[in-house]
């Protein structure tokens, strides 16, 4: 009983929950801003990189090579290390690569670089899942390569990969907490500040609750899309 009481006091104290809630909520709003901004950038940049990786012909091989190297490097590098490199490396070198130098911008940049590499592969899988006859039919109708890609291939590919895209963004939403390592004042940092001040860990539970409440609707929506697609595929097979 004594151990249970200690756990309750250190992790689930109602008064500490009440005290930590405003600051952690303010920090979580920063997480939300980072998530939505990074998601918008990732959706656009990943699609561009995926298209570059699929460009045909020897003259375009350098573009394919750059896209491949980018994907391999940032898929293989932990987000924490990328955050360190961006958040501390750029200011240390005094490079004006990013016009607005702030921890928030560095955090969004790190998230975008890493998740663009992951989402690129999701897009590429969707593009490759479209049967080649679709592209051939579009070309036979007089469409150029870019027109066939934009009007025929990409719309089908994006629809097919919507569930895995949402899964990646669930991961991105949670990984916004990792940018605490470069001093972004988000929920994890606010929880840490409260814990250091009051020697109580309830603030971390508060932060976890916010992330869970954000993740559950996204996960359920993803399950809904998967079930909807499976019903359509079964109906088409009949």
- 0.85 surpassed by pTM: yes
Cα→Cα distances 7→4, 182, 195, 233, Å: 5, 30, 14, 49
Q: What is the number of other CB atoms lying within 10 angstroms of the CB of residue 220?
A: 9
**Helix, coil or strand: residue 13:** coil
pLDDT given for residue 81 in this prediction: 93
Per the CB < 8 A criterion, the answer to whether 34 and 179 are in contact is yes
- Quick check: 181 and 83 in contact, CB under 8 A? yes
pLDDT of residue 236: 61
If the chain, 238 residues long, is cut into consecutive pieces of 10 residues, what is the mean pLDDT of each piece? 72 89 92 94 95 88 94 94 88 62 87 96 91 84 84 86 86 90 84 89 92 87 77 66
Residue 96: its pLDDT value, please? 60
Structural domains of the chain sorted by starting position, each given as residue range(s) with its CATH number in brackets: 2-237 (1.10.3720.10)
Here the tokens at position 103 are 């921890």
Report pLDDT for 206: 93
| Own/partner long-range contacts of 27-30 (Cβ < 8 Å, ≥24 apart) | 27/185, 27/186, 27/187, 27/188, 27/189, 27/190, 27/191, 27/207, 28/186, 28/187, 28/207, 28/210, 28/211, 30/104, 30/184, 30/185, 30/186, 30/187
């Amino acid at each position: 009983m004594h151990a249970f009481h200690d756990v309750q006091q250190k992790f689930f104290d109602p008064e500490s929950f009440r005290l930590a809630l405003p600051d952690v909520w303010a920090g979580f709003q920063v997480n939300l801003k980072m998530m939505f901004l990074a998601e918008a950038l990732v959706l656009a940049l990943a699609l561009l990189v995926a298209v570059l990786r699929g460009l045909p012909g020897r003259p375009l091989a350098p573009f394919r090579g750059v896209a491949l190297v980018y994907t391999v490097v940032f898929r293989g590098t932990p987000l924490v290390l990328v955050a360190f490199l961006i958040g501390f490396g750029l200011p240390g070198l005094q490079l004006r690569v990013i016009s607005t130098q702030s921890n928030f911008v560095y955090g969004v940049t790190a998230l975008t670089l890493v998740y663009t590499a992951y989402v690129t592969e999701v897009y590429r899988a969707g593009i490759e899942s479209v049967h080649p006859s679709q592209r051939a039919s579009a070309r036979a109708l007089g469409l150029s390569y870019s027109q066939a890609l934009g009007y025929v291939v990409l719309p089908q590919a994006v629809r097919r990969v919507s569930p895995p895209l949402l899964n990646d963004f669930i991961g991105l939403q949670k990984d916004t907490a990792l940018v605490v390592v470069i001093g972004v004042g988000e929920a994890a940092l606010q929880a840490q500040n409260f814990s250091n001040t009051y020697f109580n860990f309830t603030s971390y539970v508060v932060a976890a609750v916010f992330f869970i409440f954000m993740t559950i609707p996204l996960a359920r929506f993803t399950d809904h899309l998967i079930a909807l697609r499976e019903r359509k595929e079964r109906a088409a097979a009949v």
